[in-house]
């Protein structure tokens, strides 16, 4: 049986995340040395507010709950603190600081205090720049780290669709589909199948 999420959609422990990875057939652990990385101190309230608002900008509440309701902000904090190695964590935190500073400089208020249009505009601009940078040729002697906006999109989508809300409320979870039906009937209001076993790619911090 797959591991169960808590009521707010957040997996209760690192052990539950390991069970999830094994159940999905993916690897969330990168180098073995990562197991020795200690969890960082809890994030300050301002950092948590920023992450919550960015995640909700990416997957807002509609007729189903958004990223906040699915517990994505806590998932992001856990991934950064417990799973990213020191270089990956530094890349994320530096990018987050630049993202926050840029929003404050543009609008005169913290990102969490912006209206929806401003949040969407700023995040969309940063994501477009991130995707353009990732599409550029890799620097000589290595590869560039993934920018903050792209990492937040990956983390938010991964966290949301491995939560109970994302996998079985917004989408219809069918853990063992019986057959492939190429012309299955679909009517307005039907939920798409999540096919969580097959659709998730291994998460990458690069």
Q: Tell me how many domains the chain contains.
A: 1
HSE at residue 181, side-chain half, CA atoms within 13 A, is 8
Q: What pLDDT band is residue 145 in, cutting at 50, 70 and 90?
A: confident
Instruction: Give the residues across from 172 on adjacent strands.
Output: 193
Residue 78 has pLDDT above 70, yes or no: yes
pLDDT one-digit tens code per residue, 157-194: 888 888 877 767 665 566 555 566 677 666 776 566 65
**Token pair for residue 43?**
């994030």
Within-domain flag for 123: yes
Within-domain flag for 204: no
Lowest mean per-residue pLDDT among 86-90, 136-140, 188-192: 188-192
Task: Please give the angle made by the CA atoms of 96, 113 and 151, to the nearest 5 degrees.
Answer: 25
Within-domain flag for 61: yes
Percent of the chain, pLDDT > 90? 45
Q: Identify the domain containing residue 66 by its residue range.
A: 41-136+144-175+189-199
pTM: 0.69
Within-domain flag for 23: no
**Token pair for residue 88?**
């990956």
Residue position matching structure tokens 């950092």:
47
**pLDDT at res. 171:** 57
CB 83 within 8 A of CB 28: yes
**pLDDT at res. 162:** 81
pLDDT one-digit tens code per residue, 38-73: 344 678 999 999 999 999 999 999 888 899 999 999
Within-domain flag for 94: yes
Within-domain flag for 13: no
**pLDDT at res. 163:** 82
Within-domain flag for 26: no
203 Cβ contact partners less than 8 Å away, ≥ 6 residues apart: 26, 28, 79, 154, 155, 158
Phi first, then psi, for residue 193 (nearest 5°) are -70, 140
Q: Is 6 helix (H, G, I), strand (E, B) or coil?
A: coil
Within-domain flag for 89: yes
């Amino acid at each position: 049986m797959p591991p169960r999420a808590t009521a707010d959609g957040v997996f209760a422990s690192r052990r539950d995340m390991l069970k999830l990875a094994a159940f999905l057939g993916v690897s969330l652990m990168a180098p073995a040395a990562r197991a020795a990385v200690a969890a960082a101190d809890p994030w300050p309230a301002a950092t948590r507010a920023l992450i919550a608002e960015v995640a909700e900008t990416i997957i807002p509440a509609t007729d189903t709950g958004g990223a906040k309701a699915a517990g994505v902000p806590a998932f992001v904090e856990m991934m950064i603190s417990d799973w990213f190695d020191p270089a990956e964590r530094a890349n994320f935190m530096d990018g987050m600081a630049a993202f926050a500073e840029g929003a404050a400089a543009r609008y005169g208020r913290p990102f969490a205090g912006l209206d929806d249009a401003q949040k969407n505009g700023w995040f969309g601009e940063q994501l477009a720049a991130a995707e353009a940078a990732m599409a550029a040729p890799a620097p000589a002697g290595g590869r560039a780290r993934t920018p903050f906006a792209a990492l937040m999109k990956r983390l938010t989508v991964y966290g949301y669709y491995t939560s109970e809300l994302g996998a079985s409320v917004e989408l219809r979870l069918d853990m063992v589909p019986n057959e492939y039906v190429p012309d299955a009937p679909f009517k307005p209001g039907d939920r798409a199948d999540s096919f969580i076993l097959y659709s998730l790619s291994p998460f990458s911090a690069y």
